[in-house]
Structure 1
Amino acid sequence: MEIWESAVVATHDFLSAEDFNYFVEAIPRDYLPNLNVYLVTEENEIVGFAAVAEDTLAMLFIHNDFRGKGYGKILCKFMKEITAFTKVDVNEQNSLARRFYENMGFRKISRSAKDNSGKNYPIIHMSL
């Protein structure tokens, strides 16, 4: 969760404090136990993680101290190789993530007004 918190604080300035606290509790309780989570490390230190649900990249987070060093690309490419996922959902307000996925070959296919938790954070659905 330290990695998730570091990444979210750096990239999700649109997230309310109440919703941040909701996800701090929900992710380890409701999400992570139901996913196979893969890690990327540097010198035996975990710097990021990702997970796929069916054909969708459900999460990819890199600790803020390691952002911009290629770990996201490494992890995304690895996840595509082992899971063959073809879709990703991105918060509309997270323009850095959207550009990252566009650079990885994803294109917008649709938009939802709310996230998967029913919260008012629009989601851009992307596909290869």
Structure 2
Amino acid sequence: MPENVSGSTVIRRYAAADENAAMDVWSRAGGLAHPFIPGEGEGERARKMREIYLVHAENWVAETDGRVVALLGLLDAEIGGLFVDPEAQGTGVGRRLVEHAAALHGSLSLEVYEKNTGARGFYARMGFVEESRRVDEEYDEVMLRLTRRAPENHA
């Protein structure tokens, strides 16, 4: 059942018909967040997103005025990706998607590039703490594993 975020924004399950809109959000948001990743938002990374992540993850979208403005991918209680349209960043849509994931799964974890300072600040404000770090061998970039305990009211 869709969750109403604000007057005209709804959180709902991703549907196959959302593919192009979700890919557009992913490409633009990912390119801004990861300028240090060669080919971010295109090519092989886009193919994997389209053929693997959008097919196999538990995906949710935020839709404002009938337009997809954010995408959240979950692998059980791990946030595999959160991408918010650059024009919708700062509107609370990303926060609502994370809270939606917490309502579904309780404790959450994710990995974020150390260089992605905007996302790191967002997740810190959302109560995530660093648990560990590793080097992503494909891009030789430091990845931080962040976790957040379940909200007190989560069963």
TM-score by length of 2: 0.75
Match of 1:105 among 127, 136, 140: 127
SS of 2:25's equivalent in the other structure is: helix
SS of 1:122's equivalent in the other structure is: strand
The aligned counterpart of 2:77 is: 55
The aligned counterpart of 1:122 is: 142
Which of the two has greater helix per residue?
A: 1
Note the residue ranges of structure 2 that are not aligned, 5 or more in a row. Answer: 1-22, 149-155
Which letter maps to 1:80? A
TM-aligned CA deviation for residue 18 of structure 1: 7.3
| Contact 1:91 1:121 (C-alpha < 8 Å) held by counterparts | yes
TM-aligned CA deviation for residue 99 of structure 1: 0.8
Quote the RMSD (CA, aligned, Å). Answer: 1.7
How many pairs were matched up?
126
Aligned CA distance change for structure 1 residues 71 and 18 (closer, same or farther; 3 Å)? closer
The aligned counterpart of 2:8 is: none
| Mapping of residues 63-78 of structure 1, within 5 Å | 63-78=85-100
Q: Whose radius of gyration is greater, 1 or 2?
A: 2
TM-aligned CA deviation for residue 39 of structure 1: 0.7
TM-aligned CA deviation for residue 55 of structure 1: 2.2
Is 2:35 the counterpart of 1:41?
A: no
Q: Which segments of structure 1 move beyond 3 Å, counting only runs of 4 or more?
A: none
| Contact 1:57 1:85 (C-alpha < 8 Å) held by counterparts | no
Which of the two has greater strand per residue?
A: 2
TM-aligned CA deviation for residue 85 of structure 1: 4.2
The aligned counterpart of 2:16 is: none
* Inter-partner Cα distance in structure 2 for 1:6 and 1:72: 15
The aligned counterpart of 2:46 is: 24
Percent identical among aligned pairs is: 21
1:56-91 per-residue CA deviation (whole Å, 9 max, x = no partner) reads 111111111111111111111111112224211101
Aligned CA distance change for structure 1 residues 18 and 2 (closer, same or farther; 3 Å)? closer
Note the residue ranges of structure 1 that are not aligned, 5 or more in a row. Answer: none
TM-score by length of 1: 0.89
* Inter-partner Cα distance in structure 1 for 2:86 and 2:118: 13
TM-aligned CA deviation for residue 10 of structure 1: 1.8
Which letter maps to 2:66? N
Is 2:108 the counterpart of 1:86?
A: yes
